[in-house]
Structure 1
Amino acid sequence: MGKSIISTLLLVFSIAQTTKAQSSLAPLNEDYYHLVDRYEIKYGELSPFFHTSLKGYTRSSIGQYADSLLNEDKQLSHQDKFNLEYLRNDNWEWTGTEENISKKTFLNHFYRAKSDLYHVREKNFDLHINPVLHLSGGRESDDDVTTQTNTRGIQIRGVVDGKVGFYSYIGENQVINPLYVRQQIASNIAVPHEGFWKNYKDDGVDFFTARGYITFNATKHINLQFGHDRFSVGNGHRSMILSDNGPAYLFLKLNTQVWKINYTNIFANLTSDVFGNANGLIANTSYPEKYMAFHHLGINIGKKLNIGVFESVIFDRTDSLGNNSIDIRYLNPIIFYRAVEQQNGSTDNVLLGLDFKWLAAKGVSFYGQFALDEFLLENLKEGSGWWANKFAVQLGGEYVDAFGINNLDLQLEANLARPYTYSHSSRYGSYSHYRQSLAHPLGANFYEGIGIVRYQPIDRLYLTGKLIYAQYGFDGVDENWGGNILLDNNSREMNFGNEIAQGQQADLTYLDFTATYMWKHNFFIDGKIVSRNLSTDIASADSDTNFLSLSVRWNIPQRLHEF
């Protein structure tokens, strides 16, 4: 990443000599994070341990939050008590729980704690090792292929000398996806949420998943991380700012949480493009790189309202010989990136905007995001559909313990992105990584509505229903209507008269019902039914499929393809 990054890391590591104990983060997992976030909404009060707009959370903060809720005199359903005890057990090295001690061990060394295959607890060393397994089989009506997932891996976390935390995960995967996912892979040369891949049998893909980092506190309130992972910003099902849609990337992250403020900097090394075909990616070549500098400032106003502002810049500095280097001016953690970009005389891709979360009443919250790529107020007022009025909007709400029914949670969300949002005049300047959007999986040029129902009727059973409806525009042959963010926006079809969902129109309806049973700690059995209907202006692109699957998961989240 260049001498500047190496110098920065040397400084970071030197600071680590005086750090205090620091935990790893809980891996991103939609179901897991909902269990944590719902308690802010349930009690109508922002958590003092973390800001929910920045994910992931440290395991220590999750454990402390669960401890505080159980210790307070609050009305909790039996399922809530089970969930909080589950969170305490999952982060037991940071909690006061004794419930995690196993009554029966395996060979006297394994599963001495309910949540860990193997652990070490010494004064200067804490270690947790767990297996990862995801096996599934399914069938769909749209194609005569048996779908499958076969993931085996290992997850390790711990703390050295009470100062430096670490996390590592590696998994080997062979997956045969439903037809619509296979079609997406063929058209984009990218496996959703993953990096390098190769062909597996006639219809599948084979790939490694690897994430890992170190983390420590430079001071009581400033945390640093360095490694290979991904993050998510926002309180919605989708994120219009930064999501975990793409694969992990090399990053340096600084997080400052003091008073009511949370300030996050992320400096990342991204992959601009990849080369391959239906048989997989080419391994003996160097893929072009680009960089991202991102910062987000959030503040709690009282106990009900959190407001955040963000700015992100995507840039590359490729010389005539094809060598690339980071622009050290963007490493300034407290500067306005747009000013740096203009000062450089560059055409880097800068996005800025805001997000909010309002706990309107106990059990009810509203949230939203606004991401601004470019716009001219004059053209916006005229309503002329100027192509460079590029922005994305999200509005949503959640209702926890709806209608007085314990552990019935409802969520509604609306998203939109104007044509050409997140794209750039350089194919290396798009808001993407490994040919996948860093924000919404549909890219741009769409409307979307989402409804989610979650219900936990008994302790170990979780029922989830999702309805996603989207209307978007896609490109015909040699066209660019603004939905594909990887295309150079200089190839746009017109300067004025642009509207959302322009081009070849598609209407997508996606229904998902999942029943999940947790047999043992972090050992899940999923039954899933998916119905997906795509109706387009091009009859040959239409599809209508019903997909059923049964899965066994151990220490790994669901693999979702909600597009």
Structure 2
Amino acid sequence: MNKFLLSFFIIFSVLFVNAQSPISKQFESSDDRFPVFSICSNLQGKELEECFYNEVQQIVYHNFQVPEYLKKSQYSGVVKVLFEVDATGRFKVIVVNSNNEDLITETKKVFLNFPKIAPPTYNGTPTYSKFNLKIAIPLVSPEENAAVAKAKKENININEGLTELDSIVYKRFDNPQFTSHLGIPFSHSYYAQFDAAINKIGSNNHTATKPYTFAEVEKYYNFQKVNASLMKNKSGWWGRKVFNENLAEIQGEGYWFALNFLFNVQGGISNPSKTDYTYVNTRALNFKGGLGSRLNFTTTFYESQGRFADYYNDYARSIKPSGGNPAVVPGMGIAKEYNSDSFDFPMADANIVFNAAKYLDLQLGYGKNFIGDGYRSLFLSDGTSPYPFFKIDANFWKIKYTVNYMWLKDVRPDVTVEKTYASKYMVNHYLSWNVSNRLNLGFFESVVWTNTNGRGFDANFINPIVFYRAVEFSSSSKSGNELLGLTYKYKWNNQVNLYGQFLIDEFSTSDIVGGDNSWKNKLGYQLGVKYFNAFKVDNLQLQLEFNHVRPYVYSHSEPITNYAHNNQSLGHQWGGNFQELVLLGYYTKDRFYANAKFTIGTRGFDFADSGANSNYGGNIYRDYDADRFADTGVKVGQGNKTSIFISDIQVGYLVNPATNLKFFGNFLFRNFDPTTNTATVYKNQTTWFTLGFRSDVFNGYFDY
């Protein structure tokens, strides 16, 4: 581990190399002050900076003792030192890099004798600052260094012993992601922190397509200011990395990188339970950065093992894939058996975002997307496991237009051939239009098809502005699945937003207006309201949402072209044939937070998995042409009507804002009450308490 950290800091040290000096600096802003030696106390600005550099070089030059055997052998090299001046004004060596151990020892000895000086400040507050020093062997006096720099400035060709690597310029890491086109990790709890600012200040924003980019949000919400307010006064390396910063960070001329370990380590107890305890053990490595002002990227690999409450384990096993693996963990992916009673479920996500023009972002990703202003989305939710996609975002005038090309999988045994899962494809586009300062309307269209007759990714749907319904009908109306939708958001005032969605699956006008509750009325709608700074309490957001989805929505005549991926619905996680009311609350105070969610729902399940008239429209993987319950009189809750109540309360503390690492306690109560108990649907009541640490960088849904 020590060797890893040593190598890492040599490669990724956050520094600035000045052509006039072998010392690099971290100060770039006029609001900052360099550390102050007593001899420099009457100086300011550039003169103070130069005085600091000179004093460090003088101390090293007059105190560094090169071993005699190296002098005799005419040794030549460079010792690289990463050091800091902490918030108390003390010098601390972080890393010394040299191919000679005696030079490393001598370097540390010299720095132990550095005097205590006035510390650096940021916005008037003492802070720490990192610097990089290159010690040339044989020693070169500061005066000689100054002469070399002057000659170089005057284009005099002097052999100064410097290389191209020595001329690399580093800057203070100032969280450049906050102004980048990188996506903000989508967590309902995190997004609630800036929803109020967007609503209060913005009138020409588009909040339905998520994840947001930092560039979209920073116009309304000062990430830098909020981040600075959360910083703890930690001068030591471990304190800063645990509570304030990225594990490693670097910023230079036109580029930046950050590396972090992410964690989800938690343990709990549930009742009833087939095991003694529940747990999740996730370790992840995230690397992100930017090259130039237009290209940003992030990539994360997760390695996880876990065991959940019984109801959740049972659901994961009920949607297992073909091939022998026991489960699909919702939102994560296919799981292997682990220790006979647990799951092993690796996951990865990655995104490359290119800001092609002022109004245009192109994104190549492997992850999830979300369309809507609510807790749920009827159009496209983030409840599935990740998938590859290519997304185009055009944001101009009063319009934001998003096109998303997606590559999906059907992992059922019915369609698996030669141990290979079946491929399916989806394209959707969403146009968001700010009609006025208060009203936003959105128009959604999506089509799903599969690789029938070697169709592959059908070129008919590549054009990003074509009307998919017409193309799907002309290319193969029976092998594609079309969905249409409408959204709205109305700003009642600075504290209240109204929002909603209306979904039409397989548009059939005559059946919709027929009035006989035809099974072809495959409709869904959402109504919601958000209340910001509720009851005049800062940072308290309340939300009430109602979702209603009729039977057979998201299904299709060919189950492979249903609206799903990896046995999980791409729309609402419950599939079809349900309605629910959700009340949510989010509150933050400094680093403390509390979230609460209450769900009251009704679902209609099947009594049997096969047979005539046995499909009541809740299972979106069933063929509704062969065994649907009825043609008319179809209503939400038909079949095995089940009442659901779920309360989910979490309180916690934000450990590190850089990784959104939280220490939390969570309590979930679930009551599941069907009309009739069957092999897969049966009455049960669950209490589940969990305690742990989690990097909150994506949503986890346990309300099934």
TM-score w.r.t. the length of structure 2 is 0.69
Deviations 1:415-443 (A, max 9, x none): 01110011001111100011100011110
8 A contact 2:525–2:548 mirrored in 1? yes
The change in CA–CA distance for 1:104 and 1:249 in structure 2 (over 3 A counts) is same
The change in CA–CA distance for 1:317 and 1:23 in structure 2 (over 3 A counts) is same
Q: Secondary structure at the match of 1:329?
A: helix
Structure 2 residue 198 is the aligned partner of structure 1 residue 40: yes
Please name the residue that 1:74 is paired with.
Answer: none
2:271 to 127, 141, 146: 141
8 A contact 1:22–1:215 mirrored in 2? no
Q: Secondary structure at the match of 1:403?
A: helix
Amino acid at match of 1:285: K
Deviations 1:8-64 (A, max 9, x none): xxxxxxxxxxxxx953211211111111212233x2x4355x511010111233334
**Offset at residue 100 of structure 1 (A):** 6.6
Distance in 1 between residues matched to 2:215 and 2:509, nearest whole Å: 45
2:584 to 452, 476, 492: 452
Deviations 1:491-534 (A, max 9, x none): 31221121111111111100111112113322211111111000
Structure 2 residue 253 is the aligned partner of structure 1 residue 123: yes
Please name the residue that 2:301 is paired with.
Answer: 170
Distance in 2 between residues matched to 1:413 and 1:449, nearest whole Å: 6
Structure 1 range deviating more: 353-362 or 535-544: 535-544
Please name the residue that 2:217 is paired with.
Answer: 62
Please name the residue that 2:632 is paired with.
Answer: 496
TM-score w.r.t. the length of structure 1 is 0.85
Deviations 1:277-322 (A, max 9, x none): xxxxx99821101000110000112222211101000011322xxx
Amino acid at match of 2:429: H
Distance in 2 between residues matched to 1:350 and 1:378, nearest whole Å: 17
Higher-Rg structure is 2
Alignment of 1:213-362 (within 5 A): 213-275=351-413, 285-319=419-453, 323=454, 325-347=456-478, 348-362=480-494
The change in CA–CA distance for 1:195 and 1:558 in structure 2 (over 3 A counts) is closer
Q: Secondary structure at the match of 1:447?
A: strand
Q: Secondary structure at the match of 2:311?
A: helix
Structure 1 range deviating more: 430-439 or 489-498: 489-498
The change in CA–CA distance for 1:37 and 1:422 in structure 2 (over 3 A counts) is same
8 A contact 1:445–1:472 mirrored in 2? yes
Distance in 1 between residues matched to 2:580 and 2:308, nearest whole Å: 24
Please name the residue that 1:469 is paired with.
Answer: 600
Distance in 2 between residues matched to 1:531 and 1:112, nearest whole Å: 33
1:422 to 531, 554, 574: 554
Deviations 1:166-195 (A, max 9, x none): 110111000101111111112111211122
Distance in 2 between residues matched to 1:58 and 1:34, nearest whole Å: 15
Alignment of 1:78-117 (within 5 A): 89=227, 104-106=235-237, 111=241, 114-117=244-247
Structure 1 range deviating more: 433-442 or 473-482: 473-482
Between the two structures, name the one with larger relative contact order (CA 8 Å, sep ≥ 6): 1
8 A contact 1:134–1:556 mirrored in 2? no
8 A contact 1:252–1:266 mirrored in 2? yes
Distance in 1 between residues matched to 2:456 and 2:213, nearest whole Å: 32
**Offset at residue 371 of structure 1 (A):** 0.9
8 A contact 1:132–1:556 mirrored in 2? no
- After superposition, the CA RMSD in angstroms is 2.4
Please name the residue that 1:509 is paired with.
Answer: 645
Please name the residue that 2:676 is paired with.
Answer: 538
**Offset at residue 154 of structure 1 (A):** 1.0
The change in CA–CA distance for 1:363 and 1:122 in structure 2 (over 3 A counts) is same
Distance in 2 between residues matched to 1:442 and 1:247, nearest whole Å: 15
Distance in 1 between residues matched to 2:241 and 2:647, nearest whole Å: 38
The change in CA–CA distance for 1:283 and 1:64 in structure 2 (over 3 A counts) is farther
The change in CA–CA distance for 1:118 and 1:102 in structure 2 (over 3 A counts) is farther
8 A contact 1:22–1:217 mirrored in 2? no
Please name the residue that 2:22 is paired with.
Answer: none
The change in CA–CA distance for 1:373 and 1:445 in structure 2 (over 3 A counts) is same
1:24 to 179, 182, 203: 182
Distance in 1 between residues matched to 2:233 and 2:688, nearest whole Å: 39
Please name the residue that 2:81 is paired with.
Answer: none
Structure 2 residue 172 is the aligned partner of structure 1 residue 51: no
The change in CA–CA distance for 1:469 and 1:493 in structure 2 (over 3 A counts) is same
Q: Secondary structure at the match of 1:428?
A: helix
Distance in 2 between residues matched to 1:324 and 1:286, nearest whole Å: 17
8 A contact 1:473–1:500 mirrored in 2? yes
Distance in 1 between residues matched to 2:366 and 2:665, nearest whole Å: 32
Amino acid at match of 2:273: D
Of all paired residues, the percent bearing the same amino acid is 32
Structure 1 range deviating more: 392-401 or 284-293: 284-293
8 A contact 1:523–1:555 mirrored in 2? yes
**Offset at residue 341 of structure 1 (A):** 1.0
**Offset at residue 102 of structure 1 (A):** 7.7
Distance in 2 between residues matched to 1:128 and 1:294, nearest whole Å: 33
Q: Which structure has more strand as a fraction of its residues?
A: 1
Deviations 1:319-341 (A, max 9, x none): 2xxx5511111011001000101
Distance in 2 between residues matched to 1:273 and 1:523, nearest whole Å: 33
Distance in 2 between residues matched to 1:527 and 1:103, nearest whole Å: 26
8 A contact 2:425–2:448 mirrored in 1? yes
Structure 2 residue 333 is the aligned partner of structure 1 residue 195: yes
Amino acid at match of 1:179: D
**Offset at residue 553 of structure 1 (A):** 1.5
Q: Secondary structure at the match of 1:66?
A: coil
The change in CA–CA distance for 1:124 and 1:266 in structure 2 (over 3 A counts) is same
Distance in 1 between residues matched to 2:284 and 2:417, nearest whole Å: 22
**Offset at residue 98 of structure 1 (A):** 10
8 A contact 2:198–2:217 mirrored in 1? no
The change in CA–CA distance for 1:99 and 1:240 in structure 2 (over 3 A counts) is closer
8 A contact 1:264–1:295 mirrored in 2? yes
1:482 to 608, 617, 631: 617
2:281 to 136, 141, 150: 150
Distance in 2 between residues matched to 1:275 and 1:330, nearest whole Å: 28
Please name the residue that 2:114 is paired with.
Answer: none
Please name the residue that 2:693 is paired with.
Answer: 552
Amino acid at match of 1:55: K
Please name the residue that 2:152 is paired with.
Answer: none
Structure 2 stretches lacking a partner, 5+ long: 1-178, 321-327
**Offset at residue 227 of structure 1 (A):** 2.3
Amino acid at match of 1:224: L
The number of aligned residues is 506
Amino acid at match of 1:341: E
Alignment of 1:376-455 (within 5 A): 376-455=508-587
Q: Secondary structure at the match of 2:558?
A: coil
**Offset at residue 85 of structure 1 (A):** 5.2
Distance in 1 between residues matched to 2:569 and 2:460, nearest whole Å: 25
8 A contact 1:102–1:114 mirrored in 2? no
The change in CA–CA distance for 1:102 and 1:111 in structure 2 (over 3 A counts) is farther
Q: Secondary structure at the match of 2:555?
A: coil
